[in-house]
Chains A and B, each alone.
Chain A
């Protein structure tokens, strides 16, 4: 007999979830063999953001708490590693090993998550979004003004690299493997949580908070748990990001990070890890890819297309009073694309949301929520 776990059938893919995880892990590791540093760097960022997305997914996707200040936890993780892991930091003398700082950062993130969670718990929906938005900004401004600890906008750099058996993690490939492992752990943890009593409580709170409480769920406690779990994962991401980027400054933790993480969760399909990874690939990967040399080289091959287009433009210009500018040489297309990549990117996002409003890979439940609701009898009222 199927148990609660196997009944879920969440994704549109038939593959079991651990199978999907293995495929991603395999693709990631194999790509190390074939791709150069620029591409691996892109993949690192995609994987990092996918990890952040999985964390936010716990808060937004499962518990239904709209958190627009997720960057605060990312910043917390990064600053813990930077302040205690860099010789340059003003408040702390000496440095601590990365592998000690990593769990510290995760704990600090969870603690900050609880701190944020406590006052905002009575709030719902839009109000929660506004308060968390403010909280994200507060953390950034704190980092900017507490120069005694954070060196303000000058930032902290020369952060000690993580040590391991063969030396230290300083090449982009090694960082990529590190974030890949972190992502797999987070995937495992979040999927286990989702398929447990805890995950069910979160989803019940999202569906109807009052009724969930009436069924014996301590909603305050579970909302706090969701906040803390998401925050811990955000801080984990920040802790890995700090030694990779090797420059931790308030500018890196602006609102746009929160927006990006939320957007990739929504575009990928809320409540689903495969979707989150797809969202990260599109949201973080595509703008990078659009400015790569490979993309420019690829476009340069379309000289014939340009010739054909320009011939028709010539024809049109001769026949009508229109004066259409001819297309530039295909060799320049790559540069133009890099220049206008965010316009292209924006169009792509609009396209995704128009064609698949519930995301690329929606979870079964989200799919339901986006369907029209003819069968629902009555809602509302206590």
Chain B
């Protein structure tokens, strides 16, 4: 499985009068760990929501390894190989750890091809009633077939279920939660819930993994092990990683390149050291006064 290449072109997201993102472009080569930072309200999470189809961007395009994926529904984009975690952990909290992973294995259990991007004709321009009418019998048939195979549970269904369970156990080992299959998700300690969320995102077999503040609320030791985990995931699962982060130690420690957003615009991009020295970044974080002060202090 090759890691995906993310190419965001002039992305814009407008909520009525409010411009949450304006002309944001971003290019992440395959296999890179890319940081997305910026002050609160800069549009980082909005960006993730646009990339995953939770929001439909009002301008611009999102390309993943040569396929345009913006404008599709979230489940289609997930099928194309984009998966995410959430800033506020959003596990299926009353389901067990294993069930959380099996839900995310939804496509693979069915044997649907990994990374499928539907043609634009059927995606964005399917508003015509004819196009919709053609889809109805197909959808009906597949729904019926699914119910039938769930009831009959023929050997192939059982086999793919067993395989999914085995894969899920494997995933749990990879994120450091071995043997916790049967714990109800909400009963996991906080840090483990974050790990489970990452495992769940990985269960969809992503080419692009979006992590929204993976170390939020963690102490330095936990953050350090999370950094190690993110690196090992990138290597083991061959996925491109974009992460939103507030802890500078994490950003500088794990990200190979960084994009800085402020008020919905890109204000800087580069390696951690480049970004750290960028005047506009310091300005955005600390205000203009800080720069003047530091100029006075060190003439």
| Contacts from A to B (Cβ < 8 Å) | 1, 3-4, 7, 114, 188-189, 192-193, 196-201, 203-204, 207-208, 210-219, 221, 224-225, 228-229, 365, 368-369, 373, 375-382
Contacts and interface: CB of A to CB of B under 8 A. Distances in A.
Nearest to A1: B165
Nearest to A193: B150
B92 A217 contact: no
B184 interface: yes
Interface in B86-135: 86-90, 92-96, 98-99, 102-104, 106-107, 109-110
State the majority secondary structure of interface residues on B: helix
B181 interface: yes
State the majority secondary structure of interface residues on A: helix
A224 to B, nearest CB: 7
B229 interface: no
Contacts of A377: 88-89, 190, 193, 217
Contacts of B256: none
A196 B102 contact: no
Nearest to B190: A377
B150 A198 contact: yes
Given A4-B165, A7-B98, A225 B106 contact: no
7 contacts: A4-B98, A7-B181, A200-B106, A214-B74, A375-B187, A377-B193, A382-B45
B153 interface: yes
A200 B99 contact: yes
B95 A204 contact: yes
A124 B187 CA distance: 27
A350 B1 CA distance: 58
B49 interface: yes
A379 B75 contact: no
Most chain A Cβ neighbours within 10 Å, of B52, B75, B88, B96: B75
Contact of A214 (B78, B88, B184): B78
B78 A210 contact: no
B161 interface: yes
A346 B117 CA distance: 55
B147 A381 contact: no
B84 interface: yes
B143 A204 contact: no
B79 interface: yes
Contacts of B164: 4
A219 B76 CA distance: 11
A207 B94 CA distance: 8
Nearest to B166: A1
Interface string B157-201: 100011011000000000000000110101100100100000010
A211 B45 CA distance: 15
Interface string B224-249: 00000000000000000000000000
Contacts of A228: 143
B209 to A, nearest CB: 12
A207 B182 contact: no
Nearest to A5: B161
Interface string B17-43: 000000000000000000000000000
